[in-house]
Amino acid sequence: MANTMHNKSILLGKRILLGISGGIAAYKAADLVRRLKDRGAEVRVILTPAASEFITPLTLQALSGNPVGQSLLDPAAEAAMGHIELARWADLILVAPASADVIARITHGMANDLLTTCILACAAPLAVAPAMNQQMYKNIATQNNLATLISREIHILGPAAGEQACGDVGPGRMLEPLQIVDAVIDIFANTAQASAENAKPLAGSSFVITAGPTREAIDPVRFISNHSSGKMGFALAQAAADLGATVTLISGPVQLTTPQGVRRIDVVTAEEMHQAALNEAQNHHIFIGCAAVADYRVAEVSTQKIKKTDDTDDMQLRLVKNPDIIASVAALTQNRPFTVGFAAETEQVEHYARLKLAKKNLNLICANDVSVPNQGFNADQNALTVYSATQVFQLPLQSKTALSNALISLIYEQFQHEKSH
């Protein structure tokens, strides 16, 4: 959390547009406005129609010192394009409380009220403090929406867990106003720090990153694959590109949008990924093998769909090994890139990671325990332990976006260290 000096000064003069959506936690918004104002922030408030059932515009106007926005179609405000002016005015949009409904509408880019229209029209950072029933929060639709927002680098503040107004106990309580204020201070502090540093520290470097699963055909309708979503590899590609690197992403079949500024090569099978990796590796400084490549493929792929028969209860497939992509890249004798592998294990993680590091002649290996619930495959967060021949680096559980930024920085630092020696 932010330090005492930041508490006193960093919000001074900052313009915060507070969006309040419908929910019992809306009553906390009055205190939140007061706390932000106490620290020198300018605050303007937008109420959704549902929020005005819980807290009055007059209260918020008195506390903020500014008129409260409610209607997108207010003739007086829109005569001067009020929603665009609000969007341009804000240094930060903070939605607190953020109901499941408003989170869904933000995720899908809707602009059907004043708040969501301002969000869509605003280039400033967006922070969202979820507040809802614990079951609504746990629902897969809400979790997918929050994951999408995280992937867009939208700040998710909380929620807390505990007893709820409905009597349930669990995650979904809005953070307390002072906790939200501290989080807002951190957002501005981190933004200021990022602006003060070199924005493109990886400019001039180039990465090849493999991501996602491969699919090995059995017949025209069936295949062997795995649970990799590709999220980690795509997050790494975005992080490297954001830091100024030239990035080529070799992706297996996934349902993900190409990261901005990244060149993408789509493949399906391990053999296709192997060929693409060898074609690209010698032209780049760093190779990261993040894909979950199938170890085996079917020796003889049927040209027709294999039919189920009544005279047998089993079917035998003969499998042959796929080429080892990361080992092939690490074995290059000319223009070999700094080579980083991944080890997704379910047991003896360190043992197997170190074996792969040595056997495949890698510079680094990133190990994660995919047996741990809610991390690794198909999850939006992960934790890694990174091994070199002589060092160990711990990257704790965090969003894959945050983890990717930390990992790319670590990889580049080790690449530079090795190059200098």
For the entire predicted model, the pTM comes to 0.54
Q: Which residues of the chain have pLDDT under 50?
A: 1-7, 78-81
Residue 186 vs residues 1, 127, 149, 289, 345: alpha-carbon distances, Å? 6, 11, 18, 33, 35
| Residue 195: predicted pLDDT | 59
CA angle, 401 then 97 then 150, to 5°: 10
Q: Quick one: pLDDT at residue 194?
A: 60
Amino acid 83: pLDDT: 61
Q: Tell me the per-residue pLDDT of 106-150, one tens digit each, with 9 for 90 and over.
A: 999 998 889 999 999 898 999 999 999 999 999 999 999 999 999
What residues are paired with 95 via a beta bridge?
Answer: 19, 128
Q: Is 290 a catalytic residue?
A: no
Domains in the chain (CATH in brackets) are 4-196 (3.40.50.1950), 206-420 (3.40.50.10300)
Task: Give the burial string for 132-156 (b: 16+ CB within 10 Å, else e).
Answer: bbbebbeeeebeebbbebbbeebbb
pLDDT on residue 20: 96
Chain segment 384-403, per-residue pLDDT in tens: 999 999 999 998 888 888 88
User: Is 418 in contact with 363 (CB distance < 8 Å)?
Assistant: yes
8 Å CB contact between 13 and 42: yes
Which pLDDT value is given to residue 309?
Answer: 79
d(CA 89, CA 160): 30
pLDDT at 147 (0 to 100): 92
**Of the listed 118, 122, 166, 290, which one is catalytic?**
166
Please count the other Cβ atoms lying within 10 Å of the Cβ belonging to residue 176. Answer: 15
Under 8 Å between Cβ of 160 and 171 = yes
Cα 359 versus chain centre, distance? 32
